[in-house]
Amino acid sequence: MQPLFVSATGTNVGKTHTTLQLIKGFGEIGIRIGVFKPIETGVKGLPHDASLLLEACSKYNPAFASLTPIDTTAYTFALPAAPFCADTMHEISIDHILQKYHQLSNLCDLLLIEGAGGLMVPITKEYKMIDLAKDLNAKMLLVTPSRLGCINDTLLSMEALKNRNIHFEWCVNLYEDKISFEKVSQPFYDAVFPGWWNIQTGLNRFISGYSL
């Protein structure tokens, strides 16, 4: 199955929360699921997000149960910043990330790849998270917030994906400003994107359609 790259309009939008729900949903319909967190920053000890993803994945795929969180990442850095900034020793090699991707892909039917930050977060000086998604030939699930300003963030991210000809779906993580969202943002989505959905109510339908 074509890998699925989970990205967002920015940091703290809900990528890990969404990926955990995807692991559960795909796993419960019998898909041998795998996880890959290419880069995680702000790491002291074990990478937090990678640990959560691996714990969830191991329940559905024995091949991942023998791995450690470090095995499911290519790079971890202590500084909580964009990978390019966190990589103070300039260690990052895109080839190493791709090699790790192929290793993990061989252990599953569907690899879920969780990005860091938003689409335009720099991995190196000239290579961004969106470029990695493109090079992995992955489908994209763009997670957007429900807070004030989400329309602008959503449209900008969509424009970037379209410019690179990356197939994507998008959903709202309805966890911030939930009451005001219905008035300040939802009317635009209803008018322009009548099929829009949120992860709280639409994720199972997405999973079912993806697995066909």
- Kindly give, in sequence order, each residue whose CB lies less than 8 Å from that of residue 201, ignoring residues fewer than 6 positions away: none
Reading phi first (left if > 0) and then psi (alpha if -120 to 50, else beta), residue 166 is in beta
Query: What strands lie across the sheet with 33-40, from one edge to the other?
Result: 73-76, 33-40, 110-114, 4-8, 139-144, 168-172
C-alpha to C-alpha distances, 22 to 27, 67, 92, 124, 208, nearest whole angstrom: 8, 20, 28, 28, 11
Does 125 qualify as catalytic in the annotation?
no
- Kindly give, in sequence order, each residue whose CB lies less than 8 Å from that of residue 36, ignoring residues fewer than 6 positions away: 72, 73, 100, 101, 104, 111, 112, 113, 114
Active-site residue, from 37, 44, 100, 183:
37
Active site residues: 37
